[in-house]
Structure 1
C-alpha cells in the first residue's frame, strides 16, 4: 500500500519539473522586457529597477540550473514564439555554458526572425566579458548578419575599439550591422567627417537616425537637425523611428527654429502622422484651422485629434472635443475607422470653440504639457554642456 502510494506520488511529481522550468523561462522572457522598459525610464540604481533585476535574476538562475532541459524548452519556446524576450533567454542559456553549437542555432533562428535580434543583444549586453570573449572574434568574421550585430553590441557594451575594422562594418551590406556600427562609433568618439557624410544619406532610416544622434553628439547641431527633420517628414519612416527623431529634434532646436519648421509643414498641406504631431506640440493658434481640416480627413482624423490634445495639454476624453458617436463624424472619417469602437475628434465642437474663442486662454502663453517638458529637456541639456 505504502509502496504504491510512493510510486503514485513520484509519478505525479515528475511531470511538474518541466512545468517549473518552463515557468522560469516564460517569466524570465517577460521580466526581461519589463526590466528593459524600466531601465530606459528610470535610473539604474532606482529601487524599482533593482527589484525587477532581482526577479529576472532569480528566474534566470532557475533556468540555468535546469541544464539541457532548460535549453530544450527555451528553444521550443523561441521557435513557437520568436519574440525578443524568448531570444534573450535562449541566448543567455547558450552563453552561460559557452556552447558554440547552441549559439550557432540562435544565430540561425534570428536570421529567420530578424526582430528577435533585440533579445540576443539584450543577453550579450548583460553577459560578463568572460562569457563573450571566446565568440566575439568569430562573430565579427561571420557571414551571418546577426552574429556581426551581436559582436558589435558586445564591443559597444564593454568598450572594445575595433580600429580599422569599424569602417568596414559601417559600410556593411546589412542595415542592422551598419546601425550598430554607428553606435559603436559614437562610443569611440572618432567622428570622421567623411564617414558621417555617408551615414547621413544611408538608405535605411534607422541608420540615418543613429547618424543624426552621432552628429548631435559631435557638436554638429544643424547637421543633426537636418537629418532628424527629414526623418520626421518622410512618410516612409516607421512610427517608432519618427517618434525618436521628433523627440531628439525638439531638444536640439530652439523655439524660433521649431516655429519655422511648423510653418514649413503647414505650407506643404499633406503631412504624415509624426509631422502632424509636430504641429500639435509646437504650433500656435494659427495652426488650429489647419488641424481642424486634418480632423475632417479619413486618413489623418485620429492623429490630428491626438495633436490637438498635445497642444491643449489635455487628456483624450469623450464629451468635450472627442466623441464615440458615429453620427458626429464625417462619412470619410467613418469609412476609415471602426466607429463602433473609435474615439474620434468632434470637429463641430472644435469649430464652436474657435468661433466663441473658448480656446484663447489655452492657446496664449500657456504651451502644452509635452512642449513644456521638452523645454525642460533643452534647459537640462544646455546646463549639462555649460
Structure 2
C-alpha cells in the first residue's frame, strides 16, 4: 500500500474518455431496459436481476472515473433526455455528494417531466446515502421534489410516519397518488379514511391508487367499483387496477364479473389475463384453448406465465412471429411485435409436467 507521501506526489490518474463514455451509455441503456422489464406483467425477475448486475458493472466504471465522467454524462443527457440518462446523471450526483449537480439534474428532469430515472437513482443508493435529500424533499415547496422523496420511500420501503398523513392529501396529484401507493404498501390502515376520501378525487391516477391502497389494507370492498371501472377503461394502469380488483374480492363475485367481461370482444382480453391472477393452475386447459384465438392469445400467454413461471425456461413454448400460428394470427397482429405461446407445445409441456407434479 502506498504511503501518504507517495500518494501526494503520484501522477494524476489518467481516464480513458472513450471507456467512460461507453460506461455512461451502457448504464443508461441497461437501466432503462431493466425498468421497462420491471413493468411487464408478470415481470421476469431472473432477467431483471441479470440486467441489474450489468448496470452495476458499468456504474463501477463511473465510480472509478469520478468527476471526470461528468462531460460524458452531460453530453448524453443533452442528446437523449430520457429516463436512463437521468438515472445515470442522478446516480452520479448523489454518489459524488455534489449538491449543485443534484439540483441541476432535478431541475433538468422537472423541465421535461421525467421522473422514473431519478426515482431509480434514489432507489439504487442505500437509504443512509440519500436520507438527507429525502428528508428535505418531503417538506419541499416544490411538488416535483416531494414526488421524488415519496418515490424513494416507496422503493426502499421506508415509512415517513407523520409526513405520510400530509402527503396522502398533497395538492399535487402525482405526489398524492404516489403517497397513497406508499401507504398501501406499508399497510397504513390508520390512513384508511384518507384513502377512502381520495376515491372522490378528480384525478384518475389518485382514485386508482386510493383503491389499490384500500385493497392492500384489506378494505377493498370500498374501492371495488372504482377498481373495476379503471381496469375496464384500459390504459397503462389497467392491469394494476385489475390485480387490485381481484384482490378486493370476494372470489366468487370476481369470477362472475370476469365471466361477464368474457361476453364482449372488447373486454375478453382483460378477463383472460385476470384468470391468471387468480392462482388456479387447473385452468390451464382452458387457457390453451384461448391461446388459439388471436384476440386473446397475448393475455392467455401472460396468464400462463403467471401461473407457471417455471415455463419461462423453455423458450420453445413461445414465438415472436405470430405467423407461426396461422393466417388468422398474421392478419390480426400484422406488424405488431408480440410474444405468444404456441398452444400445441404448451399442451405437450403440460403432459410432461404432470409426471413432475408441477
Q: TM-score range by the shorter chain?
A: 0.5 to 0.7
Residue 244, structure 1, aligned to residue 236, structure 2: no
| Partner of residue 152 from structure 1, selected from 143, 150, 153 | 150
Per-residue deviation, residues 97-126 of structure 1 (Å, max 9, x unmatched): 111111111111121222x31111111112
Could you say which residue in structure 2 is the equivalent of 1:353?
none
Spell out the pairing of 1:122-161 with structure 2 (5 A cutoff). Answer: 122-158=120-156, 160-161=158-159
Residue 277, structure 1, aligned to residue 269, structure 2: yes
After superposing the two structures, state which structure 1 stretch, 203-212 or 48-57, moved more. 48-57
Would you say how many aligned residue pairs link Structure 1 and Structure 2?
294
Distance (Å, rounded) in 1 between the aligned partners of 2:62 and 2:297: 47
TM-score of the pair, normalised by structure 1: 0.63
Distance (Å, rounded) in 2 between the aligned partners of 1:321 and 1:251: 38
Q: Where in structure 1 are there 5+ consecutive unaligned residues?
A: 1-13, 285-290, 292-300, 330-336, 344-365, 370-386
Does the aligned pair in 2 maintain the 1:259–1:282 contact within 8 Å?
Answer: no
Distance (Å, rounded) in 2 between the aligned partners of 1:59 and 1:342: 33
CA RMSD of aligned residues (A): 3.9
Distance (Å, rounded) in 2 between the aligned partners of 1:107 and 1:126: 16
Per-residue deviation, residues 249-277 of structure 1 (Å, max 9, x unmatched): 3455466424432465578x695xxx341
| Partner of residue 182 from structure 1, selected from 172, 180, 183 | 180
After superposing the two structures, state which structure 1 stretch, 151-160 or 211-220, moved more. 151-160
Spell out the pairing of 1:214-253 with structure 2 (5 A cutoff). Answer: 214-234=213-233, 237-238=234-235, 240-250=236-246, 252-253=248-249
Does the aligned pair in 1 maintain the 2:215–2:244 contact within 8 Å?
Answer: no
Does the aligned pair in 2 maintain the 1:90–1:106 contact within 8 Å?
Answer: yes
Distance (Å, rounded) in 2 between the aligned partners of 1:309 and 1:53: 26
Q: Secondary structure at the match of 1:82?
A: coil
Q: Secondary structure at the match of 1:203?
A: coil
Does the aligned pair in 2 maintain the 1:280–1:310 contact within 8 Å?
Answer: no
Could you say which residue in structure 2 is the equivalent of 1:96?
95
Does the aligned pair in 1 maintain the 2:192–2:214 contact within 8 Å?
Answer: no
Note the C-alpha offset of 1:228: 1.7
Could you say which residue in structure 1 is the equivalent of 2:313?
none
Residue 265 and residue 150 in structure 1: after superposition, are their counterparts in 2 closer, same or farther (change >3 A)?
same
Does the aligned pair in 2 maintain the 1:88–1:122 contact within 8 Å?
Answer: yes
Could you say which residue in structure 2 is the equivalent of 1:322?
328
Distance (Å, rounded) in 2 between the aligned partners of 1:149 and 1:311: 33
Note the C-alpha offset of 1:37: 5.8
Distance (Å, rounded) in 2 between the aligned partners of 1:213 and 1:261: 18
Residue 260, structure 1, aligned to residue 256, structure 2: yes
Could you say which residue in structure 2 is the equivalent of 1:168?
166
Does the aligned pair in 1 maintain the 2:138–2:163 contact within 8 Å?
Answer: no
TM-score of the pair, normalised by structure 2: 0.67
Does the aligned pair in 2 maintain the 1:185–1:191 contact within 8 Å?
Answer: no
Distance (Å, rounded) in 2 between the aligned partners of 1:157 and 1:143: 22
Per-residue deviation, residues 265-291 of structure 1 (Å, max 9, x unmatched): 578x695xxx3413445799xxxxxx9
Distance (Å, rounded) in 2 between the aligned partners of 1:230 and 1:79: 40
Could you say which residue in structure 2 is the equivalent of 1:207?
206
Per-residue deviation, residues 58-100 of structure 1 (Å, max 9, x unmatched): 2112123323331232122123212211111110100011111
Spell out the pairing of 1:296-311 with structure 2 (5 A cutoff). Answer: 303=295
Residue 303 and residue 173 in structure 1: after superposition, are their counterparts in 2 closer, same or farther (change >3 A)?
farther
Could you say which residue in structure 2 is the equivalent of 1:30?
29
Does the aligned pair in 1 maintain the 2:231–2:241 contact within 8 Å?
Answer: yes
Residue 78, structure 1, aligned to residue 74, structure 2: no
Distance (Å, rounded) in 2 between the aligned partners of 1:255 and 1:93: 47
Note the C-alpha offset of 1:216: 1.6
After superposing the two structures, state which structure 1 stretch, 85-94 or 316-325, moved more. 316-325
Q: Where in structure 2 are there 5+ consecutive unaligned residues?
A: 1-13, 276-282, 284-289, 306-316, 338-346, 351-358
Does the aligned pair in 2 maintain the 1:139–1:151 contact within 8 Å?
Answer: yes
